[in-house]
Structure 1
């Protein structure tokens, strides 16, 4: 597999997911979770659901 582009690394990185989680929490009023996926293409993602068994909780924005 090829190396990720700098843009993809920035967009799928923890800092950006944290920023998105804060924005979504402010707009929706719902708790947001930043989870570590184990997928090198998308190492972190933001969701309103608790992590699945193959994911690890990185942060909860309550």
Structure 2
């Protein structure tokens, strides 16, 4: 299956969980819980297009938001 068709093969629940809005919401929750800044990054992976991290993002990841 190609990357282009992967998003259509995902379940509706997984499509919802893999949105930027959901990643941002999780980042806010993690910031409140940990007290550490959180980054929302674009991974380029169609199965997990966004990721939350409190560490400096990898060179191949693009920062979309900083939750401070």
| TM-score, structure 2 as length reference | 0.84
Once the 2 structures are TM-superposed, how far is the Cα of residue 10 of structure 1 from its aligned partner? 0.9
1: distance between equivalents of 2:31 and 2:46?
26
Find the partner of 1:34 among 30, 40, 46.
40
- Highest Rg: 1 or 2? 2
- Per residue, is there more helix in 1 or in 2? 2
Kindly tell me the number of residue pairs found equivalent between the two proteins: 62
Quote the RMSD (CA, aligned, Å): 1.0
Q: Structure 1: which 5+ residue stretches go unaligned?
A: none
- State the TM-score, normalized to the length of structure 1: 0.91
Which deviations, in whole Å up to 9, do the C-alpha atoms of 1:28-50 show, x marking residues without a partner? Answer: 10000000000000000111012
Partner of 1:59: 65
Mark the runs of 5 or more structure 2 residues left unpaired by the alignment.
Answer: none
- For residue 13 of structure 1, what is the aligned residue in structure 2? 19
Q: Say whether 1:50 aligns with 2:19.
A: no
